[in-house]
Structure 1
Amino acid sequence: MSTDSGSLPGVSAVIPAYNYAHFLSAAIDSILQQDYPNVHIIVVDDGSKDNTAEVVAKYGDKVEYVYQDNAGLPASRNTGIRAAKTPFVAFLDADDLWLPNLVSQCIGVFADNDDSLGIVAGKFVRVDPEGKPYGKVTRDDDFYGFYRPEDIILKQRFGASAVMVRREVFDEVGFFDVSLTSSEDRDMWIRIGAKYKGYLTEDVLGYVRNHPNSMSKHSDRMKQNMRAVIRKARASDVIPKYNYPFWLRVIAFNMFQCAWMYFDERRYVRASVELTKSLLTWPFIVGCADLDEPPLFRIRALRRFLWAIVAGPRRPKNA
């Protein structure tokens, strides 16, 4: 981009890092390769025991390094927000990657709207531990544009690693909830959506890395925190508490999601129980198009879960 960086609004890119030194260089490099010049990188080291500090030191004054005692991912993001001195803050987890146009795309959307727009997010593609894309956009292909708080309450539509927020928004809605050990980003997007407009781009702007140590691999913890976020949203009255059809639908779909997490851990009985509870909670068609799911997706999933129980644990092909 040929425009002088001084004439462009600054963006702080916050990378919370905990024992991910082996991924961190790729994350930092993906920010340095942005086609938008006015980006300040802040790495928040959350008490790492690996060589995270050494990795950051190699970049010199290109990266600001902030160390804190281990306090968790939400606290690390909050530390980064407090350190940010720019009008916009964007987030990238240490094991993920930005595409080169993420910042320019998000800034462009902000430039086309007034201050009522508080957050812009991009779609992402999952990649393997080596960074090779699996090929499928992981959030709803047809869901983009301005979204409502109920869209995020019903289903997580985007992750934290392709999101930009006006810095002043956090002064009004507060920081990430440190009592949550996952799903704290979804909680934040709901809170922002209750006071500001939100926009999801049609384009893929980031890569999210799948690997064994990923936080999303812990289903019991994910379930507990997802339910806590739903309870917080209902208590906030952003959608009236007496809108029982909506909230039953939210819980039913969350149970469906939890069922798949248990299935992926080969806890087939637990998965079947959770899915049965989903059907009993809201036996009607939950809605396919706006959830990016195929027709009768819960019935089809239950059939697969029950078959897994009957067939027993999967065995390696060469066993």
Structure 2
Amino acid sequence: MGGYEMIPQVSVIIPAYNCDRYITEAVESVLNQEACSYEVVVIDDGSTDQTRSVLQPYSGRIRYIYQENQGVSLARNHGIKLALGEFVAFLDADDFFVPGKLAAQLAVFEAQPHLGIVHSGWYRVDSQGKLLMTVRPWEKVPELNLESWLLWKPVLPSAMMFSRHWLESVGGFDPRFPPAEDTEIVLRLALKGCPAAWLRQVTVGYRQHHQSAMHKGLPQARSLSAAIDNFFQQADLPQAVRLLENQVRYGTLVWIAWYL
């Protein structure tokens, strides 16, 4: 955005915890975005490494906020409260945006202003940034609605852009479900009627390493199961959604088995 002389279209929120090895690449990938206005909000969630010092050269180009360690959900929620943009994009500190990501997703919102979420594909890369796989979730999940979110869970926050209004309407992320808080909030959004659509292109690099969600194994499995339990324990679920419960629970077990 080159300063804060105008209200940005999108606020990019980067929660960071002990990620000094990768965070400059994440920040640079946002600052290299073109054809849109944005702000970068880094929420340092109590890092004990060199995160603060490696971000010092970006003073004036990003908003850096330090908080005591509270977890990624509350770090993201802090960012949402500070956000100035109509739209919010999250970027994990070890991931990176592909050039043109923000403008491409904003264009979908401009063409379909009723949307609350614009999702996309991603590159899965290793710790060195080497390509492992290109993920195009729309090939298996062509439509994004409550049923498909429940059955397939094609959630990756860094590949998504949200309407800030919708995030605020559900109260942000729930800290009870790490590291499946991203799936949990999408289910709440979808249940409330939040419309979502695909941008059928890759917009982010997702780094797979020993600290990433894919390698959290058993905690990820327990968290996802708890999030699904919480969803179906709601007393006022529509009957059509209730009828999906057995299928969703079976699919969740399969998903967990694959990740473990």
Specify the code of the residue in structure 2 equivalent to 1:57. Answer: Q
* More helix per residue: 1
How far 1:243 moved relative to its partner? Answer: 3.9
SS state of the match for residue 116, structure 2?
strand
Equivalent residue number for residue 295 of structure 1:
none
Equivalent residue number for residue 235 of structure 1:
233
- 2:130 pairs with 1:132: yes
Alignment of 1:96-245 (within 5 A): 96-114=95-113, 116-137=114-135, 139-144=137-142, 146-194=143-191, 195-236=193-234, 237-240=236-239, 243-244=242-243
Distance 1:76 1:139 in 2: 27
Larger RCO: 1 or 2 (CA < 8 Å, sep 6+) = 2
SS state of the match for residue 22, structure 1?
coil
> Are the equivalent residues in 2 in contact too, given 1:120–1:164 (CA < 8 A)?
yes
- 2:81 pairs with 1:82: yes
Alignment of 1:270-289 (within 5 A): none
> Are the equivalent residues in 2 in contact too, given 1:124–1:204 (CA < 8 A)?
yes
SS state of the match for residue 185, structure 1?
helix
Q: Deviations over 1:92-127 (max 9, x none)?
A: 00000111111111110110113x311111111100
SS state of the match for residue 161, structure 1?
helix
Equivalent residue number for residue 296 of structure 1:
none
Specify the code of the residue in structure 1 equivalent to 2:184. Answer: D
Q: How many pairs are equivalent?
A: 256
Distance 2:99 2:159 in 1: 12
SS state of the match for residue 204, structure 1?
strand
From the superposition, tell whether residues 6 and 193 of structure 1 become closer, same or farther in structure 2 (CA, over 3 Å): farther
- 2:61 pairs with 1:62: yes
Distance 1:113 1:131 in 2: 33
Q: Which runs of 5+ in 1 are unaligned?
A: 263-319
How far 1:142 moved relative to its partner? Answer: 4.5
> Structure 1 stretches (4+) deviating beyond 2 angstroms?
5-9, 138-144, 235-244
Equivalent residue number for residue 260 of structure 1:
258
- 2:63 pairs with 1:29: no
Specify the code of the residue in structure 2 equivalent to 1:160. Answer: P
Q: Highest Rg: 1 or 2?
A: 1
How far 1:239 moved relative to its partner? Answer: 4.9
How far 1:220 moved relative to its partner? Answer: 1.4
From the superposition, tell whether residues 37 and 241 of structure 1 become closer, same or farther in structure 2 (CA, over 3 Å): closer
Equivalent residue number for residue 278 of structure 1:
none
Q: Deviations over 1:252-274 (max 9, x none)?
A: 11111222233xxxxxxxxxxxx
Q: Which runs of 5+ in 2 are unaligned?
A: none
Distance 1:212 1:171 in 2: 32
Q: CA RMSD in A?
A: 2.1
